[in-house]
Every structure is written in structure tokens, then in C-alpha cells.
Amino acid sequence: MTKLSKLAPAMVLVVSCSSQGESSNAAAGGSRSGGSITTGGNSQAAGGQTGGGGASARGGSTSGGSTEAGGIAGTTTTGGGGAGGATGLPGGASAGGGPGSGGRTASGGASALGGASGLGGVSGLGGVSGRGGATGLGGVSGAGGRTGAGGATGAGGNTSVVCPGDGDPVPAAERVSNGGPVLPPKWAFGVLWGSYYDQIGSQWARLYARSDDRGNILTAAERLRAEYSGDLMWIDSSWLSHNYSSDGPAYVCFKFDAEAFPDPGAMIAKLREQHFHFGVWEWAWMGHGCQYFQTGVDNKYFVMNGNTPALASGGWHGDRTPAAFDFTNPAAFTWWTGLNKPLADWGLDFMKLDTNNTELTSPMRSGGRLADPTKDYVREYHHAAYVVTQMYPAANDPRAKMNGARGFIMPKSPAPRNDQFPGWWTDDIPTTWAGMATEIGRAYGLNRPENAAYWCGDTGGYAGKPSDELYIRWLEYSTFTPLQEYFGSKAEGGSVGARFPWLFGTEAQTIVKQYTQLRYRLLPFRYSNGLIAYLVKPTVYPVRWNGNRQLLVGQGSSQMLVQIVSSGGVTSMNVTLPAGTWIHYWTGRSYTGTASVSVPLNQAPIFVKAGSIIPMGPKLRWVDEVPPDPLTLDIYPSGSTSYTLYEDDGMSEGYMGGAYSTTTFKADDSGGKVVVTIEAQKTAKYRFAGARSATAATS
């Protein structure tokens, strides 16, 4: 049985802009048949046929490999029975074949799909690439010719055409949640970095930074952008005061510490120039020494006990008994969001909310009365913070201006319908293996409307400094959680105020890069699953638990499974798999029941369900760096399966009213050949801003 199949000769495409919803399919073998691409059989070609600049495979039987004149170089099919199997596996691994169905076809196909990143441009044949064998052509470039990966540019080949697409305004009455888990902005699906750093690398920041970046957030951002990837830089409680343990009454007062942050507007602008979003940590309280305190008392903007604020308890910075904003009072709600507006005007679009339910409701237990007791206090607080994070994109992003802005917060307190305000974190965790187990246990209780569909923990743990091994195993796990965030405590237990890669050894730094790029390359698949979770009923969460040590990413016939390594010194594991055939990501070997696999430090136990079709994008330094051109399909043929890719503008609420598109991919190997069908892209109701579509014609 064929093990690792690659597409047979692809044909030349001419790509041009068309209205959304027209065919974006291509046929192989010189014929166009409903947009299907058919692989060849098992004709022998020693070492794999290589087209000009095209793909080649080693070992096993191969098919195809022909070249269309002036156009697409051929791809190859590797057989599963050949000694050594195909090469090109991540980390230098090689596939050894194996029993059962499985293997993966990596198909470029005709991408020309809606612009998930919101940028213009279409590509023709996306080329093929994959761990399981040949590496095919790169995308399409230039007018009148296509440049392959290491190959020639052919006159009359594929053409990349920019199709910007302004999108349609969706009436506000239609942009109303259907009750499904609301999506954060697409950039939140990237990597999120938090720290206690400041603008100048002050003596206080250096005390807990303990690294050559000297606790300077701008220096850290420059290094991240030069060497790693990320979409957010946020600062914890030290933004309010470098010495908050003794700063007392004026602690929570909605302004940066002037000494450590002499020009916060310029700092945030610089971060945004480097394509980082920005956020801060906040409480729901105000200290007695804040200049606005009496205004809150006079107008009863606080939770009140008669004419006196009912004070909160449980605070651990500054004023230990602050007043609590009454978010059930519309005037207080508006006042609090207004106090935060200067931050939003500078560029803030994220908030971390560090209070639990006991702390938040403490004023009511000490005699305080809410202005509107019919409202849930915690939910109203989360709603207010969410509104603040919507302000900057609503004023500055054309997509959000037209169809409503998304917000993004990370609370840790459940509330009714909390999944309408996306984001969650699992609270402070010790940097130990036991701490990792605790964090996993907390995450296991999520995926509920009262908490969140989009969640994460502090990768590596919070309190203390993790060993390199713990840091690596934790990041391998968090690569597949809905959100991924790195953050650590100050000097407690030898911590270093952050979890930036350069704070760890060279092997850890290499593995951060490896898994970060995997996370970003999986973005089309992961983001599409988020749209599916909102739009398709019954709700299937984008990341789910199988037991308490396995994550499932995806749904239906297209799923990835990650077995979490949550103890030290592990080099091999017996992984109990769900029903069906699962393919080991690193070797291409197929398993049913239990898989015994090696787990070197750079290889988490990852499996792909047989039949999966996984859309993959390019390497990225941030989510919107480039469009997903070419879009690569990682296909693991097994019977007749399909995956529908959902796309939208990534920034607005337009998807709630039908501003999104779908493209269905199908694979069928039941007839002895692998037939891949790319159906026409369909617009749900409205075109979304930045959508891209194309007509792919044969020649």
C-alpha cells in the first residue's frame, strides 16, 4: 500500500482576479475535472523524478515527476515500502514506512483563498512540501512567470495577481453574537510575550531581568523581532509603579510610572512600528491616594455602603483596601473605560485582569450594594475591560472601523457567558513539574461558556525559574493551546522577570524557534477551527482535551493529537490513542491503539489522524507579516475525507453577520489513487475586507 504520497504532475495555471466564489481549483494531468488533482499510480522512478526546479523523493516507488513546459515542475509520489522511506522530516528524521494507511500528501493546489490575514494578493499553485518526502515548488511570483523553489521562471507560467478587495459593510444589527465562543483578533493566535520590563532598563527592572537586555522592553522587542516571532508585548503591574510594595495609596491610578516610563506613548508607538500589539495588567480597584478618588465617591462610581465605598480585600500591591468600581452602574462603567482611554489612544489593545472571584466580590460581602444587583458584577467588569481593548482598533483599523472591533482580555474569574469576551489565563503557577501538572489541571476545566474557549498559562510557570528541560516541555505543550503566552515573576526563587528565549540555553532557544514556527505555520488551520467553533453547531472547541494529558486540535476527520510530557527525564512514551489510525508526526508511521514512540527533547509526541487535511501557511514573525501564499495542504490520505477552511478579515466582528468565506478540500484514496479536490471558494453573505480569490485556468 502506498505510504507517503505526493501529487502527480501538476499543470500550469494562469491566475487572475475574479469575484469571490468563482472557481479557484486546478486539475492535474492535463485535464480539468471539477477542480480535482489526481496522483499517479506506482510506476517506478529510481530516486524520484525531478522536474526543472521541481520536487524529488528518495526511496520507495514513485510516480509522476513530469514537467509542464514553461510552467510547473512535477512533484513525486514516494512509496511506503521503500527502504528508508521519504526524507525531509523535521529535525532530520526519516520515515521508515510502516503498516496500515497513513502517510501524508502535501499539496499546494490552487490556493487563491480568502485572505485570512486581511492582506491582498493571490497565489497560483502553492507547491508541495512535507516531512514525508519531496519538497515542491514555492509560490507564484511576478507577472507572466513563476519562480519555483530553486527552479526556473517560465514565461507563460503562473501569475500572482494582487486582488485587494475592500469588503462589504455588515449592518450592525447583523453583527450580533449567536452565543458561540467569540473570537479574539487573529493576532492573538500568535505568540504573546509578557514581562516586568520598563522603557529605560531602570535599576529596578535590571534587578529582576538578570540578562543582557537589562530589563528594557524595547531592547527585548528588537531582539524578539530579529531572532524570534511574536505578536504582543505586555507589561505586568510594574507599569504603575517600580516600587509598588511601598507606593501605597496612589498605586492604581491609571498612569505609567513616570520615572521608569518617561514617554509611554513613544514606547508603545515604537512597539507598534515593530508589529507588536501592546497591553498592561490591571485591577478593578482604585487606591485612596489617586487624584480621581473623590470623584468616584461623590458620584457613587464605587461599590457603596451608604455614602462610603465598601472596600475590597485581598489586594497585594499598594493600597491594600482600595475602592472597587461598580461596573453594574452604566455611569461608572463609562467612567472606568474613560480613565483607560489614554492608554488605548496610545495603542493598548490587550488587558490582563489579575483578580479572582473572591477578591472581586469582597466589597459586597462587607456591606456593599451594587447599583444594579440584577447584573453579574464579574461579567460587567470583564465587559468593561473588553470595551477598552476594542477602542484602539475601532479608531485605527479599517476593518474594525467598518464592521466593529474585536477585543482581547485575559481574566481568571468565571462569569455567565464569559466566552463572549475572549481570553483566559490559568493564574500564577510554580516553575516545577508539579506546577505544570497544576496548570494542566486548571486548563482541563476550561472550554465552558462561563470561562473561555481561548486560554493559556504562563509557559514555563510563573514563580521561580524553570529548568531548560521544563521550559522546553512546557512550550511544546503550549504551542498547541488556543493561546500561547510567556511570562514569569520577578526575583522570587531566582526568576528573571520574563520567559524570553535568550534567558535559557542554546538548545532551548533553538527549540523555541522550531515550535514557534510550527505554531505560526498552523495558523490557517487553527484560526479556521476558531471560526468553525463559533459558526457551526453544535460547538466543537478548537482545542479539546482527551483525558487529562492529551490535546486534540481540530475537528471531524482533520485532527492533531499532542501527548503532554509533564515529567522530567522522559525519552520514550506509550501513547494511548483514540479510535482509528493515527500517524506519528515525526516519522510518518501509522498506529492504532497504543503507540510506543521516542520523545527526544525536541520532539513532543504529536500524531495526526489518518485522513486529515491540514492547511499550512508560511513561516511568520508575526501573524499579518504576509498572506498565507502559498497555502500548503498537508494531507494524510485515508478513505474519503474533507476539511472546510473558514476565513475572514481577522480583525472585525463582520464574521458574526456573514462576512467570511469557506473553501472545501477533499481527498480520496479509495480508488487506488489519491484524488484531491479543491472546491470553489464560497462567500457566506458578505465579502470581507482583504478577501482574495482567483480563477485558475489550465493551459
Q: What is the per-residue pLDDT across 114-132, written as a single tens digit (0 to 9) for each? A: 333 333 332 333 333 333 3
**Of the spans 114-128, 156-170, 455-469, 480-494, which averages the highest pLDDT?**
455-469
Strand partners, 302: 325
Query: Which whole-number Å values give the CA distances from 212 to 216, 308, 468, 475, 674, in the listed order?
Result: 10, 49, 18, 22, 53
For residues 112 and 226, membership in a common domain is answered with no
Q: Which residue has the higher pLDDT, 464 or 251?
A: 464
For residues 131 and 196, membership in a common domain is answered with no
Query: Which whole-number Å values give the CA distances from 436 to 443, 471, 599, 627, in the listed order?
Result: 11, 10, 18, 35
Q: Which of 573, 572, 546 is nearest to 559 (CA)?
A: 546
Domain count for the chain: 2
Is 655 contained in some domain?
Answer: yes
Averaged pLDDT, 376-388: 98
For residues 341 and 471, membership in a common domain is answered with yes
For residues 113 and 186, membership in a common domain is answered with no
The yes-or-no verdict on residue 622 having pLDDT over 90 is yes
Is 551 contained in some domain?
Answer: no
For residues 205 and 277, membership in a common domain is answered with yes
Task: Give the per-residue pLDDT at 571.
Answer: 97
Of 93-102, 223-232, 237-246, where does mean pLDDT reach its minimum?
A: 93-102
Task: Give the per-residue pLDDT at 356.
Answer: 93
Averaged pLDDT, 1-6: 28
pLDDT confidence tier of residue 579, bands split at 50, 70 and 90: very high
Question: What is the number of other CB atoms lying within 10 angstroms of the CB of residue 212?
Answer: 9
What CATH number is given to the structural domain containing 487? 3.20.20.80
The yes-or-no verdict on residue 394 having pLDDT over 60 is yes
Q: Which of 631, 579, 588, 632 is nearest to 608 (CA)?
A: 588
Query: Which whole-number Å values give the CA distances from 254 to 45, 263, 293, in the listed order?
Result: 69, 15, 12
pLDDT confidence tier of residue 695, bands split at 50, 70 and 90: very low
For residues 505 and 623, membership in a common domain is answered with no
Separation CA 41–CA 6 (nearest Å): 11
For residues 393 and 453, membership in a common domain is answered with yes
Is 58 contained in some domain?
Answer: yes
- Which pairs with CB-CB distance under 8 Å and at least 24 residues apart come from 536-544? 537/180, 539/180, 539/181, 541/181, 541/447, 541/453, 542/453, 542/482, 543/447, 543/480, 543/481, 543/482, 544/447
Quote the domain boundaries for residue 22. 1-175+612-699
pLDDT confidence tier of residue 208, bands split at 50, 70 and 90: low
Q: What are the helix (H) ranges across 104-143?
A: none
Q: How many residues does the chain have?
A: 699
Query: What is Dmax (Cα atoms) for the chain?
Result: 88
For residues 525 and 621, membership in a common domain is answered with no
Rg (CA), the chain: 26
Is 600 contained in some domain?
Answer: no
Q: Which of 532, 555, 590 represents a domain boundary (last residue)?
A: 532
Task: Give the per-residue pLDDT at 206.
Answer: 64
Is 565 contained in some domain?
Answer: no
Task: Give the per-residue pLDDT at 241.
Answer: 85
- Residue 574 burial class via C-beta count within 10 angstroms: exposed 0-12, middle 13-18, buried 19 and up: exposed
The model scores a pTM over 0.95: no
For residues 311 and 445, membership in a common domain is answered with yes
For residues 328 and 433, membership in a common domain is answered with yes
Task: Give the per-residue pLDDT at 209.
Answer: 53
- Cβ pair 211, 196 in contact under 8 A: no
Q: What is the per-residue pLDDT across 450-477, written as a single tens digit (0 to 9) for each? A: 999 999 999 999 999 999 999 999 999 9
For residues 67 and 145, membership in a common domain is answered with yes
